[in-house]
A and B are shown apart, each in its own frame.
Chain A
């Protein structure tokens, strides 16, 4: 019986990540290769959505899999493999943000977050430019959310994790996740009101 607040996640079968991890745990090095090949794009995307287009994203992906190597003996297949992996990603990303805040010393607010995406923005005329502007604004608004709200929203919206799985990643309850996402959406609606009102009109 799970604890009252503990999300009860049924393990989907077959989860290739779980199978690879268990094989790797037993010493199959080829299974680790498969893990990296299968999950590194998703890890990279999640890191990018969370920390922005930082130069060291690939280093962070390496760090995630380094932690997989070091934690392999502690791994238990209690949920989807991606849930376990994303928990590593989340902890690493939070540390990375803390490190940056200490280094930058300025508030990593919306304006700076907007600028960080500048390199990846499409340069196009007319409607494309407007769309690019919307995309940039949405990214900046997401980047300005508090860490846990941001990760909860990104996991639920872009990684399509159920709320109970998001709860496992963040180490909290499903109810708390629901509240976090609600608050995140409220904040986004306020920050993106200019675009939304325009479209609504």
Chain B
């Protein structure tokens, strides 16, 4: 291939970018008329250009844009989800609320009546109030110590032995009847005494267990 052919092929390559018109211009070059091989190469490119140009543009359906917009309407209405950095930027873009000038002075000025009323109370008023409080406290302590404390109710299960149960029962009896149990026991007649002895003998601990006798 001669240098003339080589430079023609370079021009041909360039003309391909320019399409049919550029190729037609190249066909008018003297080398294209003189060199059969280059003329054929040019003709092949021109044929290919014509073949490519013969393909019509695809038919675009009518109202395509309208349908596309209708289909995307939902997506466009959707509220965008903010990225983390976008949220941060938004939050940081909120300015600090402006503080009114001389705010502290005005707050102090508003509190002047309250603060001056506190300052006007005489010292003796505090002393009287303190004295009254101390007196009331002493009276309450004294009243509590003079009254007999009510014995708390105890569940039978909390008492560990029969002696404890008996002692607790006696205590409660004396509380309820407001008299000494021993004094009362001394006052009962012999018949009652016999009945009490019988009851003591019939106490479940002294009797034979019911389940050992075969039950009821």
Name A residues whose Cβ lies closer than 8 Å to a Cβ of B. 29, 32-33, 36-37, 40-41, 44-45, 48-49, 53, 58, 61-62, 65-66, 69, 120, 131, 134-135, 138-139, 142, 156-158, 163, 181-182, 185, 188-189, 192, 195-196, 199-200
Least Cβ–Cβ distance between A67 and chain B, in angstroms = 10
The digit string for B112-141, where 1 denotes a CB below 8 A from any CB of A, is: 000000000000000000000000000000
CB of B54 within 8 A of chain A?
A: yes
Q: Which of A33, A61, A156 contacts B17 (CB 8 A)?
A: A156
B71 touches A62 (CB 8 A): yes
Q: Which stretch from B44-52, B94-102, B154-162, B165-173 is at the chain A interface?
A: B44-52
Q: A40-B65, A139-B55, A185-B45 are in contact. List 9 more A-B contacts (CB 8 A).
A: A32-B76, A36-B69, A36-B72, A65-B72, A69-B75, A182-B13, A195-B51, A196-B51, A199-B47
CB-nearest residue of chain A relative to B19? A157
A33 to B67, CA, bound (A): 11
A49 to B55, CA, bound (A): 10
CB of B214 within 8 A of chain A?
A: no
- The residues of B that contact A200 with a CB separation of less than 8 Å are 40, 43-44, 47
CB-nearest residue of chain B relative to A46? B58
- The residues of B that contact A49 with a CB separation of less than 8 Å are 58
CB of B147 within 8 A of chain A?
A: no
- The residues of B that contact A199 with a CB separation of less than 8 Å are 47, 50
A135 to B47, CA, bound (A): 13
Name B residues whose Cβ lies closer than 8 Å to a Cβ of A. 13, 16-17, 19, 40, 43-45, 47-48, 50-52, 54-61, 64-65, 67-69, 71-72, 75-76
Beyond A131-B54, A134-B54, A192-B48, is A44–B64 a contact (Cβ under 8 Å)? yes
A185 touches B60 (CB 8 A): no
Least Cβ–Cβ distance between A90 and chain B, in angstroms = 17
A120 to B55, CA, bound (A): 12
A61 to B64, CA, bound (A): 9
Beyond A32-B76, A196-B47, is A138–B69 a contact (Cβ under 8 Å)? no
- The residues of B that contact A41 with a CB separation of less than 8 Å are 60, 64-65
A58 to B43, CA, bound (A): 38
CB-nearest residue of chain A relative to B69? A36
